[in-house]
Amino acid sequence: MNVESRQGVKRPTSNIEFCVNRGLTMAEVANVVRVTNVTKVFKLGKIDVPALKGVNLEIAKGDYISIMGPSGSGKSTLFNMIGGLDKPTSGKVFIDEVDIAQLDAYELAWLRCRKIGYIFQTFNIIQVMTALENVTLPMIFAGMHDDAAVEKGLQLLELVGLGDRFNHKPFELSGGQQQRVAVARALANDPAIILADEPTGNLDLTTGEEIIALLKRLSQERGVTVISATHDFKMLNVSDQVVWIRDGRVDKIEDREELSISIGQIGTRV
Ligand code: ADP
Ligand code: MG
């Protein structure tokens, strides 16, 4: 950890401070995420496994982005880089134009707790806690008082359609309901970005569609940027942009207008 930052630099408490501390105004930050020349090589004994081979990406605020690609193409690896959960072998990841490699441990923890909400394929909610306790946990970590956390937790569970299930534990909830709890938890600290890795991967068709619709509604109503790694073609319908990734590289990036053509192609192929 960087000693100077531990002693001298004020801890960021808001998105605005996060930028101002670095001499940026929020208006200057058009891209909430910018990835430049990112590579990732995993070492398996003596073997190098290149998972990302030079990825460049710019994601605008409030967009709904799908990172599409077959299994093993590098989606989760890219997800982990953008989310500050793993470090690139080379290249940079900027969140609100801040190079996250420059953050110290406190700032990185702040980024993960306050700026980004994570959703995973296997829900990853805590089994011994109720829905409400799962949702309030990140708020408690962020220093919110219990009463305020409970009030906000109930509001968020209401938002995802689980207002009456707040006292249920995960084993008393269906897969789709557990993923809704995970969505509510991801929103706990009003993140600017929701990162979802195969959020519909363990869900049936209808439940998957419900989760996709919920994420889309959140991006529209709350201005949250949603970045979802997926190979679920149902995601195409709601995406502002699709980043097609293949063998660790960005194959092509399609905007909404171009997508209807791809959807047509997929429709005729299947
Ligand atoms: P996707 O999410 O698109 O299925 P991943 O990002 O999980 O793909 O994996 C991309 C490639 O990196 C694969 O070849 C995978 O085997 C490899 N890989 C991923 N994580 C690791 C790891 N921790 N150690 C070694 N190889 C890994
Ligand atoms: Mg994956």
Q: How far is the CA of 247 from the centre of ligand 2 (A)?
A: 13
Candidate CATH numbers 3.40.50.300, 2.60.40.10, 3.40.50.10610, 3.20.20.70; the one for domain 61-87+103-269:
3.40.50.300
Name the residue with the closest Cα to ligand 1, atom 23: 42
Other C-beta atoms closer than 10 Å to the C-beta of 7 total: 7
Ordered by start, the domain boundaries in the chain are 61-87+103-269
Ligand nearest to the CA of 77: 1
Q: What angle do CA 73, 79, 84 make, to 5 degrees?
A: 140
Other CB atoms within 10 A of residue 167 CB: 10
Grouping H, G, I as helix, E, B as strand and the rest as coil, residue 255 is strand
Which atom of ligand 1 approaches the CA of 49 most closely? 26
Compute φ and ψ for 251, nearest 5 degrees. Answer: -80, -50
pLDDT per residue of the chain (270 residues) written in tens, 0 to 9: 343 344 444 555 555 555 555 665 555 567 899 999 999 999 999 999 999 999 999 999 999 999 999 999 999 999 999 999 999 999 999 999 999 999 999 999 999 999 999 999 999 999 999 999 999 999 999 999 999 999 999 999 999 999 999 999 999 999 999 999 999 999 999 999 999 999 999 999 999 999 999 999 999 999 999 999 998 888 888 999 999 999 999 999 999 877 765 555 554 343
Q: What is the pTM of this model?
A: 0.86
Atom 24 of ligand 1: nearest residue by CA position: 42
List ligand 1's pocket residues with C-beta within 6 A.
Answer: 42, 44, 49, 51, 69, 71-77
Structure-token pair, residue 95: 């969140």
Alpha-carbon distance of 191 to 113, in angstroms, equals 8
10 to each of 4, 66, 94, how far by Cα in Å?
11, 35, 20
State in Å: Cα 230 to ligand 2 middle.
Answer: 8
Q: How far is the CA of 148 from the centre of ligand 2 (A)?
A: 35
β-pair partners for 262: none
What is the distance, to the nearest Å, from the Cα of residue 194 to the centroid of all Cα atoms in its chain? 3
Here the tokens at position 13 are: 């408490």
pLDDT in tens, 49-103: 999 999 999 999 999 999 999 999 999 999 999 999 999 999 999 999 999 999 9
Question: For residue 61, how far is its CA from the centre of ligand 1 (angstroms)?
Answer: 28
